Amino acid sequence: MQVLAGKDRGKTGKVMRVDLANGLVMVEKINVFKKHQRPKKEGQKGEIVNVERPFPASRAMVVCSSCGKAARSGIRMEKEQKVRYCKKCSVTW
């Protein structure tokens, strides 16, 4: 996925999780925030951890595996089977 808007615009990454009910997507190494974590045991120190957060799916676009560009996808019938394809280079996925 490639990010279209926000602080990480233009970055690409692998999709980790999709929340269809809320329309959110979590992408690897995108939308990273720092979280202060409490110590797990007594005597240990707390730490600052980088955490990826989900963001709206409308701010991301699928990247075509053949042309390497962010492109819209379409669906067409091939031998009685629905197939997704890239609208820029017309290659099936």
pLDDT in tens, 55-77: 999 999 999 989 999 999 999 99
**pTM of whole model > 0.75?**
yes
Q: How confident is the model over 11-37, as pLDDT tens digits? A: 999 999 999 999 999 999 999 999 999
Q: Which domains does the chain have, with CATH numbers?
A: 1-58 (2.30.30.30), 62-93 (no CATH)
Q: In this structure, are residues 27 and 13 in contact, taking their beta carbons and an 8 Å threshold? A: yes
- Please report which confidence band the pLDDT of residue 93 belongs to, taking 50, 70 and 90 as the band edges: confident
- Cα(52)–Cα(12) distance, integer angstroms: 14
